[in-house]
Amino acid sequence: MLPIQTYQVPKSLEEAAEILRASNVTLFAGGTDVMPQTRAGRVKLQPVLMNLRRVPELRGIDEEGGVVRLGALVTITEMLESALVRDRLNLLWQSCDHFASDQIRNAATVGGNVCNASPAGDTLVPLLALNARAVLAAKPNGALQVRRVPLTEFFLGPGRTCRAPSELLAAVEVPLPPAGFAGEFYKHGTRPGLDISAIAIALGARRDGRVLRDVRVAFGSVAPTPVRAPRTESTLEGRTVDAALLETAARTALEEVHPISDVRATDWYRRELIRNMLKRVLTHVCQL
């Protein structure tokens, strides 16, 4: 049992933002992170517990003007069942298929996954690769304000983001990748989904024969946050993929990651995996 002073269930985004402005709040939607973390004492509960699930503005998957808007309350299952996500944001869709279990996917939300900011967060790695942005809402001076932060700037450290305590993640916006963009999400584990990854890779690009363009590479579980790998992307951009380039890309990637040793894997092994699996993913994407 957790001691909570006030329980709030806002019915609109404005109401939610107002509560956030006025108090110290712990937010939850599916509860799949908040419940175990607060009970284990890993996260401290604020005096106000706020349930976001009745805020309609936070729902829905829509596409407009070349941008897919994923409402913060969109569940992993909803993304899995969305033809739009499957067909146009396939890299993200792949991560949803490797996300925990059916029971967790039915409750967990993309907003929760993003705000939890685990370096091992499954959807975060492809979202980074897809240039996604966080849409943050707040009501600092009586009027609802919205700002957008690229996810590359949003994650600050394990469990830490640049969301201010008075801000609410309203949605994640993902610009549609260019036509012909395809990719692969790799999550290391012995199980399809129920593992916390030792490493994760999202790689997407437009394939032009064996030349890759518009290359995006992101890694998970090898740094304090999920990370893009711009130098690795540069080594690949516009180049013909052959055995030598695979080596170069892998070597560069190893310079861009800073894995640690923990109960799941050692840093040495994570580096080996990055090297071996980046090459393998590239091989698949290039259909070598």
Partner 1 sequence: MGAAEKPVPGDTLIGKRIAKLDAPDKASGKTRYLHDLEVSGALHAKILRSTQVHARIVSIDTRAARALPGVHAVITAADVPWQRPIGVGKDHLPLKTDRVRSLRDEIAAVAADSEQIAEAALKLIRVQYEPLPVVATPEEALAPGAPLIHPEPRGAGEGPQLKTAGLPVAFAGKPDNIAMTFAYEQGDVAKGEAESDVVIEDVFRLHYVTHCCMGVSGVIAEFDPGGNLLLYSNTQVPFLHKREFAELLGIDPARIRIIQPPIGGGFGSKLDIYPFEPIAIFLAKITRRPVKLVFTREEEFLASPTRQPVLLKLRSGCRKDGTLTFRGVETVHDNGAYTSWGATTPFVMMQTISSLYRVPHCKYFTKAVYTNNPYAGSFRGYGNLQATFAVEAHMDKLAEAVGMDGLAFRLKNAQDPGEVTPQGMHFKTCGFKQCLSTAAARSDFLRKQAENRARWSDPGPVKRGIGIASMLHVGGGAKIYPSDGCGTILKVDDFAHVTLITGASEIGQGSETVLSQLVCEELGLPMSAATVVNNDTDITPWDVGVHASRTTFIAGNSAIGAARKAKAKILAAAASKSGIPEDQLELRGGCIVRKDGGERLFELGKFLRGLHFSDRAELVMTTFYYEPPSKHQDKQFKGDVSAAYAWATQVCEVEVDTQTGIVRLLKVTGAHDVGRVLNRLGIEGQIEGGIVMGQGYALTENLMVEAGVVRNPSFRDYKLVTAPEIPEMDVNFVETMDGEGPQGAKGVGEAPAICIAAAVANAIHNATGKRITALPFTPENVYRALHGAAEPPRWSAAA
Partner 2 sequence: MSANCDIAFTLNGVKRELTVPAGMSALEMLRERLGLTGTKYGCGEGECGACTILVDGATLNSCLMFAADCDGRELVTVEGVAASEPGERLRSAFVASGAVQCGFCTPGLMVQAAHLIERHHATDEAAIRRGIEGNLCRCTGYRKIIDAIAAAAVAAKEGADHGRR
Q: Does 264 bind partner 1 (CB under 8 A)?
A: yes
Q: Does 240 bind partner 2 (CB under 8 A)?
A: no
| 191 Cβ neighbours under 8 A, 6+ residues apart | none
Q: Does 22 bind partner 2 (CB under 8 A)?
A: no
Q: Of 179, 197, 173, which Cα lies nearest the Cα of 187? A: 197
Is the Cβ of residue 156 or residue 243 nearer to partner 1 in the bound state? 243
Is the Cβ of residue 102 or residue 262 nearer to partner 2 in the bound state? 102
Q: Of 124, 278, 104, 90, which Cα lies nearest the Cα of 186? A: 278
What is the spatial order of strands in the sheet that 211-220 belongs to? 181-187, 200-208, 211-220, 227-228
Is the Cβ of residue 40 or residue 179 nearer to partner 2 in the bound state? 40
Q: What's the Cα-to-Cα distance from 217 to each of 64, 203, 253, 263, rounded to whole Å?
A: 25, 5, 9, 26
- Point out which span in 101-109, 150-158, 255-263, 280-288 binds partner 2 (CB under 8 A): 101-109
Judged by CB under 8 A, the residue of 265, 274, 282, 286 near partner 1 is 265
Judged by CB under 8 A, the residue of 67, 153, 240, 268 near partner 1 is 268
Is the Cβ of residue 36 or residue 238 nearer to partner 2 in the bound state? 36
d(CA 217, CA 234): 10
Build a one-symbol-per-residue string for 177-196: x at contacts with partner 1 by CB under 8 A, - elsewhere: -----------x-xxx-xxx
Cα 111 to chain centroid distance, Å, stands at 9
Which residues of the chain form contacts with partner 1 (CB under 8 A)? 1, 188, 190-192, 194-196, 198, 263-266, 268-269, 272-273, 276-277, 280
